[in-house]
Chains A and B, each alone.
Chain A
Amino acid sequence: MNTLSNSPLLERQPRLHGLYTMMLIRAYEERLALLQQNGAPGTCTSVGQEACAVGVISTLDWRDRIITNHRSAAHLLARGADPQRLMAEVLGRADGYCGGHSGSLHISVRELGVVLTSTIVGGGLSLAPGVALAQRMGQGEEGGVVVVFFGDGAACEGILHESLNLAVQWQLPLLFVCENNQWQAYVHRLETMADDAIYRWACGHGLETQRIDGNDVDAVSAAARQSVAAIRADGRPRFLELLTYRQRGHLEPDDLAYVDHAERERWLKRDPLVLMRERLRAEGVLQDNDLAAMQQQVSQRIDAAQNFAESSAWPDPQQLLQHVYA
């Protein structure tokens, strides 16, 4: 799965590779945010949530399927998507993964196993049991697991409970991953939910749940590895709630006027990239010159992505009716 970097150092060190991927996601999103200040179509960035995506997806293999949502870039990049084609899609260009039909909000890349991306909040939760059922009934690769990413806001849609109940009842190989990033667009999640914990909602449906520090990529990957192994072993669903924070606005550009800045500051002190970088440094795994090399490679790839995307053609309007029906 890893098409990310050919560097022998990164290959030897999966955790370094994880840091590198988080850096790539951060740089990709920040570049898009910059472009959006100059009028490119808006996107929902994953800045602050890189450890959730990298932690979970690094534990998957080629057999597995991923369902994501409007905030998908981290999931896609962690799965090895090409930043050039991703950025081209966000800009609505012909070379984008979906030929410009999607734009930023519904990017799926079937060849990477990132299937059925819906920007309808909770949309992925309604589809996930079906993808897992097909897996269970022999349509996927033996042992494959389906992972559905959704937000704390999506957890408020009734479909969460329908989806959980069915997955448990039908014993579907499905990992529910709730990225609780504290925000539901412009509303803080504590304003919309009586209970502080989403994993407790899932508990009632009778599946194993865990609540994890979503800014600690080691903790996320440990929990995900254990959950995925358990699903592969017994074919039953599991649930992870990852506590994290959406550092940027809901949709770029966003002035964050509605944000509690004290809370934001507390979370910024626990930035997932900084946490991992300092830990790897302290362990002696990461040397300053390696970090500089990684940073340089990331910058080059993002520059290249922007060049590629901006020079890609607009889709031909003649294609308006293409792909409506199979």
Chain B
Amino acid sequence: MPILTVEQAINQALHEEMQRDPRVLVMGEGVAKSRASLLHSFGAQRVRNTPLAEAVISGTAVGAAASGLRPVIDLLFAPFLTYAMDALVNSAGKLRYLSGGQHEFPLVTLSMTGAGWCVGAQHNHNLEAMFVHAPGLKVVMPSTPADFKGLLKTAIRDNNPVLLFTDIGLLHQAGEVSDDTEFLVPLGKAAVPRIGSDVTLVSYAKTVGICLEAAQQLRETGISAEVIDLRSLKPLDEEAVLRSVRKTGRLVIVHEASGLCGMAAEIAALAASRAFDALLAPVVRLTGPDAPVGASWALEQASVPTSAAVVQAVREMLPRTAHAAEKPLTELA
């Protein structure tokens, strides 16, 4: 299979979907330059540089989506979404419902966030949970090039507004990506990149890699961790989380976004309400702090969960249930 970076996978998905469906268009500040190959293939009618004006870029996308087009808008960095919030939250998320189901809003927003570039909190703010909170919107935040491609293609074909967040730290990460133009990854389906039996590590985006590293380190000390990559935050694959927690009895949720009212809180509530009997230890959340991200490398690094912290959290939750750890895995399953 071809090897692509995340950035290339996104472009390939856009290319294939624009090829497949003439209603798909891409708009945003400088997209005709940053995605020059799309401009070359599809022309300036469908690859539109916009003025610096997120409110009207998103509003235009919402209006166009309701009227027969399928826009993809590139809003560059997640904090700039706050300018776009009215159109996305109040219009795209609500006007279908408020009109009694008369409209559909097939649109996708792209934006980047996350540590790795040292540019500070007005470019790096993981605010995906804000949009999970808004009815009518779907949110995806993949971790592999293949999932970026497959989820973006599905998002473009979906008849609802979908926000796709790209973790900056993943942009140049490479991996195998199918070149089948019908390669799709469904929204609302988690991946299990590592199977294990003692503890479930739930994450998404860049911190999936941190969980995989931690799982590897834990393996060396005889602890078997299962890693779940949510990929899609809304719809959320509740069954994948519950199935794993019922198997392992322990749950650690890891993300870079701050913890308060974040995805980890949602997952913890899910486990508490629907897998309470299976829990052998209190659920642990490892998240970014309730603070804007500092630009300094030292501050930026300090605000990201590390694999060492995951390993430590898992070790701390195990002694309480040492008896359980001694049981054969089959009994726990």
Contact = CB atoms under 8 A, between A and B. Distances in A.
B30 interface: yes
Interface in A98-132: 100-106, 118-123
A315 B298 contact: yes
B33 A320 contact: no
A321 B302 contact: no
A317 B295 CA distance: 12
Contacts of B298: 92, 100, 314-317
B33 A101 contact: no
Given A105-B123, A122-B52, A319 B30 contact: no
A321 B289 contact: yes
Interface in B98-134: 117-120, 122-123
Interface residues of B, number: 35
B83 A157 contact: yes
Contacts of A102: 120, 295
A71 interface: no
- Most chain-A CB neighbours within 10 Å: which of B50, B53, B123? B53
A324 B123 CA distance: 17
A41 B42 CA distance: 35
Interface string A149-184: 000011011100000000000000000000000001
A192 B51 CA distance: 5
A192 B82 CA distance: 21
A62 interface: no
Contacts of B123: 105, 119
A324 B52 contact: no
A158 B294 CA distance: 28
B52 A101 contact: no
- Most chain-B CB neighbours within 10 Å: which of A154, A187, A316? A187
B170 to A, nearest CB: 19
B32 to A, nearest CB: 8
B119 A103 contact: yes
B119 to A, nearest CB: 6
A192 B120 contact: no
- Most chain-B CB neighbours within 10 Å: which of A101, A158, A193, A321? A101
A120 B53 contact: no
Interface in B44-72: 49-56
A320 B303 contact: yes
Given A101-B295, A105-B120, A106-B120, A184 B302 contact: no
Given A105-B122, A119-B120, A41 B295 contact: yes
- Most chain-A CB neighbours within 10 Å: which of B56, B118, B119, B296? B296
B296 A101 contact: yes
A308 to B, nearest CB: 16
Contacts of A158: 53, 55-56
A117 B51 CA distance: 22
A32 to B, nearest CB: 14
B119 A193 contact: no
A258 B29 CA distance: 14
A92 B297 CA distance: 7
A12 B175 CA distance: 65
Contacts of A103: 118-120, 294-296
A65 interface: no
B122 A120 contact: yes
A249 B5 CA distance: 25
Contacts of A192: 49-52
Interface in B298-332: 298-299, 301-303
B173 to A, nearest CB: 19
A120 B79 contact: yes
A321 B291 contact: yes
A186 interface: yes
Contacts of A15: none
A134 interface: no
Closest 6 CB pairs of A and B: A103-B295, A92-B296, A100-B296, A317-B302, A156-B51, A314-B298
26 contacts: A41-B117, A41-B119, A92-B297, A100-B296, A100-B298, A102-B120, A103-B294, A103-B296, A105-B123, A105-B295, A106-B295, A120-B83, A121-B52, A123-B122, A154-B52, A156-B52, A157-B53, A158-B53, A185-B29, A187-B29, A187-B30, A315-B296, A317-B298, A320-B291, A320-B303, A324-B292
Interface of B: 29-30, 33-34, 49-56, 79-80, 82-83, 117-120, 122-123, 289-292, 294-299, 301-303
Given A106-B122, A157-B52, A184-B52, 19 more contacts: A41-B117, A41-B118, A92-B297, A92-B299, A103-B118, A105-B120, A106-B120, A118-B122, A156-B53, A158-B55, A158-B56, A186-B30, A187-B30, A192-B49, A258-B33, A314-B297, A320-B294, A320-B299, A321-B290
